[in-house]
Amino acid sequence: MTDKIAYERHGDVAVLRIQNPPVNALSHEVRSGLMAGMDHAEADAGVKAVLLVGDGRAFIAGADIKEFGKTPKEPHLPDVCNRIEASPLIVVASMHGVSLGGGLEVALSAHYRTAQPDARFGLPEVHLGLIPGAGGTQRLPRVTGVEAAIDMITSGRHVKAPEALDMGVIDSIAEGDPQTVGLAHAEALLAEGATRRPVSEMPAPPPIDWDASYEAVLKKGRGQIAPAQAVRAVQASVELPFSEGLKAERQMFWDLMKTDQRQGMIHAFFSERAVSNLPELKGIEPRELAAIGVIGGGTMGAGIATAALLSGLAVTLIEMSDAAAEAAKARIAGNLAGALKRGKLSQEQHDNILNSALSLATDYAALKDSDLVIEAVFEDMDVKKSVFGDLDAICKPGTVLATNTSYLDVNEIAASTSRPGDVIGLHFFSPAHVMKLLEVVVADQTGPDVVATGFALGKRLGKISVRAGVCDGFIGNRILSTYRTAADHMILDGASPYQIDKVLTDFGFAMGPYAVADLAGLDIGWAMRKRLAPTRDPRERVGRYPDKLCEAGHFGQKTGKGFYVYEKGQRGGTPNPEVTALIEAERKERNITPRAFSDVEIVRRYMAAMVNEAAKVVGEGIARRPLDVDMVLLFGYGFPRYRGGPLKWADLVGLPDLLADIERYAEEDDYFWRPAPLLRELVADGRCFDDLNKDA
Ligand code: 3HC
Ligand code: NAI
């Protein structure tokens, strides 16, 4: 046995206790230990049953993801599962915390399963670009039936104990110390003369329409292959003898292990956890956060207030007039009603929030006791400076003063106060109570404990917080404006917005850039173009047709027309012929003979622009690491998770090819296409972006 598995004898029951903190992942040592533990129990005279139990906070969270991509070492997990199931002794699993992936597969190899009332179960391998690879797709359908198994495996969702009991995943729920409960269960089984009950010997469930299920899952996955493969693996559980089904599952598992999607997903898994882990914050205590203020209750302020209220913070919201404050309250109430409907809060919590946790005011004096204030007023430097001047006069010493500005200079805002060390950017994304991303924008003088407080707030609100430096648009909007420009150039040269949107949703984006622009409001880009116009370089190519669209009063979804036309009651829009006419007119004016763009070229140019700007953002230190950019695009911009992020995508495509593309595009337009120095450096050194993540 290894020291990851403790062996204890309790009467005629042997206990194998898994001890691999923090979550008992099935590392090589754990797998070897389980094998040895089973051998030991079977050789231990008088032992009639084996109890599997986990130490610490979980039964088992699955295979050890850190081992993926390395040469697998024996014993492999399917062999461990088969070994457990084939034991002549009765095997019982007593589960608490999570039993995920390989963890649930181990439990399904036991003959009986009991669990704590708050235990959770899942086969989340699809979130890693995989399918269960140790019998999960073969055993689960035998206990739940095909449809429930397909739902659980293709969604990767966590199922709570009561639902798991209904589904047949577990046999009983019992509260108490997992080992005590498990021993009682094993002894009761022995007392009643229960026999072994291997799931593999249970009859296969009836079939379903496999092709229909496969197609439905494929469509839902927007290009992700693992969930659809899982349907085929479950099909094998019904159509093949158990041992053949296991082989089929294993083959699919290894095929998926070799894919870029698996690499992208695992990069996302670890980056999501690494992103808020900054050496500069080690040992820095955040400031206390109990009451926060929000200034401006428009789209963003109302969303930010909702997020804070849902996390249990008291919020004072300031608006310009009583009427505006009431309108803000109505927006927050609408957001809370959604949360109530989705079961995210109880009626009592909902009423408490609206009646006591939220206060509205028009006088800044109401913010004098706030620990942190987030400003979300109009995007105008003079307005912001005046707000920060007022805050400086009113807030107690130590209050963190945050701005939600999308583009403005946080250093300039900070300089309008007498306490620039307390000023920070907290850039939320719309809708702020839903979107997971928070850019924590660190200005030149922002204090380390203020940065730590920004991250602490993000954690409390359930956000993925990413550190960003100050520049126009920080990480995300700066990169967005570059790849949008690349798309705009393709339109001037002959592509249509609709082809571009289609190609990019096929690539896996949640929405194409022009559908996104309609959703955000075309007036936002219009205002920005006006702001930038005086300082534009004459070599910049900027289309005028979007301005004309705005001049005609078409701002996208909110006015019913933009790049698309939105009919009431219909989801999504249809292409707006006025846009096509405006584009054609502009091409004529500019003497451009339109050319065809292949779908492949559209992806290459769009992604090259994104990666090149991202490399500049990393090279300039605006983002600390490539993984920070990847997480911004994943959580704020609908980038497909299964591609890991733009810089992971770039590594997988190969940086030399990408640089060659950019250099070729620069021959046509050397103003827009300027290769990032960091990209050149990496190519010259034969390195990739992920090497920088590892260095950091
Ligand atoms: N392997 C290796 N490390 C793991 C792990 C795993 N399966 N699961 C979690 N960890 C690590 C995390 O990376 C983190 O490490 P860090 O502290 O160094 O950052 C630490 O454990 C704690 O994890 P979290 O911060 O995520 O803690 P939470 O309490 O928020 O969540 C969890 C715990 C629900 C277990 C979550 O970590 C999780 O969902 N883990 C992944 C589970 C999973 O995908 N299992 C399937 C694996 S694939 C498989 O089993 C294949 C099989 O079919 C053959
Ligand atoms: P909005 O126009 O919907 O809301 C602004 C609100 O601020 C209005 O309700 C207005 O009455 C109020 N306000 C203006 N001046 C005020 C003052 N001095 N005191 C109190 N209240 C005042 O604007 P939106 O979209 O909510 O944007 C707010 C900020 O958030 C801007 O800086 C914007 O750039 C930023 N932002 C916007 C995003 C979006 O998608 N809309 C995304 C991320 C950031």
* First-to-final CA distance of the chain: 37
Choose the residue to mutate in 26, 64, 65, 66 for probing ligand 1, maximizing ligand atoms within 8 Å of C-beta. Answer: 65
What is the CA(543)–ligand 2 centre distance, in A?
27
| 441 DSSP assignment | E
Residue 230 counted as domain residue? yes
CB distance 384 to 397 below 8 Å: no
Nearest-atom index, ligand 1, CA of 277:
19
Residue 127 counted as domain residue? yes
Token pair belonging to 137: 């797709």
Length of the chain (residues): 696
- Regarding whether 31 and 122 lie in a shared domain, the answer is yes
Inter-helix orientation angle 476-493/599-619, to 10°: 150
CB distance 67 to 24 below 8 Å: no
* pLDDT (tens digit per residue) in 163-195: 999 999 999 999 999 999 999 999 999 999 999
Q: Which residues of 505-530 are buried (b: 16+ CB within 10 A; e: fewer)?
A: bebbbebbbbbbbbbbbbbebbebbe
Residue 272 counted as domain residue? no
pLDDT of 118 strictly over 70: yes
pTM of the model: 0.94
The domain spanning residue 106 has which CATH number? 3.90.226.10
Q: Does ligand 1 have an atom closer than 6 angstroms to the CB of 136?
A: yes
What is the CA(395)–ligand 2 centre distance, in A?
21
ipTM over 0.85: yes
User: What's residue 188's pLDDT?
Assistant: 97
Under the banding of pLDDT at 50, 70 and 90, the label for residue 696 is: confident
User: Where does ligand 2 bind, in terms of residues with CB under 6 Å?
Assistant: 295-301, 318-320, 324, 376-379, 383, 387, 404-406, 428-430, 520
Under the banding of pLDDT at 50, 70 and 90, the label for residue 1 is: low
Ligand nearest, relative to CA of residue 131: 1
Residue 343 counted as domain residue? yes
- Regarding whether 104 and 52 lie in a shared domain, the answer is yes
Residue 218 counted as domain residue? yes
Token pair belonging to 660: 């060659």
The rounded distance, in Å, linking the Cα atoms of 625 and 619 is 9
* pLDDT (tens digit per residue) in 355-382: 999 999 999 999 999 999 999 999 999 9
Ligand nearest, relative to CA of residue 427: 2
3 state SS of 524: helix
* pLDDT (tens digit per residue) in 102-115: 999 999 999 999 99
- Regarding whether 306 and 234 lie in a shared domain, the answer is no
Q: What are phi and psi of 442, to 5 degrees?
A: -100, 115
Which residues are paired to 426 by β-bridges? 440
Q: Say which residues have a Cβ less than 8 Å from residue 203's Cβ, sequence separation at least 6.
A: 142
Q: Does ligand 1 have an atom closer than 6 angstroms to the CB of 66?
A: yes
- Regarding whether 219 and 153 lie in a shared domain, the answer is yes
The rounded distance, in Å, linking the Cα atoms of 603 and 135 is 38
Q: What are phi and psi of 425, to 5 degrees?
A: -100, 130
Ligand nearest, relative to CA of residue 105: 1
- Regarding whether 339 and 201 lie in a shared domain, the answer is no
- Regarding whether 457 and 324 lie in a shared domain, the answer is yes
Q: Which residues of 111-147 are buried (b: 16+ CB within 10 A; e: fewer)?
A: bbbbbbeebbbbbbbbbbbbbbbbbbbbbbbbbbebe
Residue 249 counted as domain residue? yes
Q: H or E stretch including 505?
A: helix 497-507
Q: Hey, whose CA ends up nearest to atom 42 of ligand 2?
A: 429
- Regarding whether 70 and 137 lie in a shared domain, the answer is yes
- Regarding whether 548 and 469 lie in a shared domain, the answer is no
The domain spanning residue 538 has which CATH number? 1.10.1040.10
CB distance 468 to 427 below 8 Å: yes
Q: Hey, whose CA ends up nearest to atom 28 of ligand 1?
A: 23
Catalytic machinery residues:
105, 125
Q: Does ligand 1 have an atom closer than 6 angstroms to the CB of 63?
A: yes
156 backbone φψ class: left, alpha, beta (φ>0; ψ -120 to 50) = left
Choose the residue to mutate in 295, 299, 360, 416 for probing ligand 2, maximizing ligand atoms within 8 Å of C-beta. Answer: 299
- Regarding whether 385 and 339 lie in a shared domain, the answer is yes
Choose the residue to mutate in 380, 381, 406, 518 for probing ligand 2, maximizing ligand atoms within 8 Å of C-beta. Answer: 406
What is the CA(468)–ligand 2 centre distance, in A?
21
* pLDDT (tens digit per residue) in 59-105: 999 999 999 988 999 999 999 999 999 999 999 999 999 999 999 99
CA 690 distance to own-chain centroid: 19
Q: Hey, whose CA ends up nearest to atom 9 of ligand 2?
A: 298
The order of strands in the sheet holding 90-95 is: 5-10, 13-18, 49-54, 90-95, 112-115, 172-173
- Regarding whether 249 and 123 lie in a shared domain, the answer is yes
| Alpha-carbon dihedral sign for residues 66, 69, 71, 75 | positive
* pLDDT (tens digit per residue) in 24-53: 999 999 999 999 999 999 999 999 999 999
What is the CA(370)–ligand 2 centre distance, in A?
20
Domain-ending residue, one of 415, 438, 473? 473
Q: What range defines the domain where residue 578 resides?
A: 516-592
Q: Region 265-285: what's the mean pLDDT?
A: 95
Choose the residue to mutate in 304, 318, 320, 390 for probing ligand 2, maximizing ligand atoms within 8 Å of C-beta. Answer: 320
What is the CA(207)–ligand 2 centre distance, in A?
55
Token pair belonging to 459: 């954690």
- Count: domains in the chain: 3
Residue 347 counted as domain residue? yes
pLDDT of 613 strictly over 70: yes
Please give the single-letter amino acid code of residue 371: D
The rounded distance, in Å, linking the Cα atoms of 317 and 312 is 15
pLDDT of 571 strictly over 90: no
Domain-ending residue, one of 562, 592, 622? 592
Domain-ending residue, one of 447, 473, 499? 473
* pLDDT (tens digit per residue) in 497-550: 999 999 999 999 999 999 999 998 999 889 889 988 999 999 999 999 999 999
Residue 467 counted as domain residue? yes
- Regarding whether 245 and 111 lie in a shared domain, the answer is yes
pLDDT of 569 strictly over 80: no
Q: Does ligand 1 have an atom closer than 6 angstroms to the CB of 266?
A: no
- Regarding whether 248 and 360 lie in a shared domain, the answer is no
What is the CA(24)–ligand 1 centre distance, in A?
9
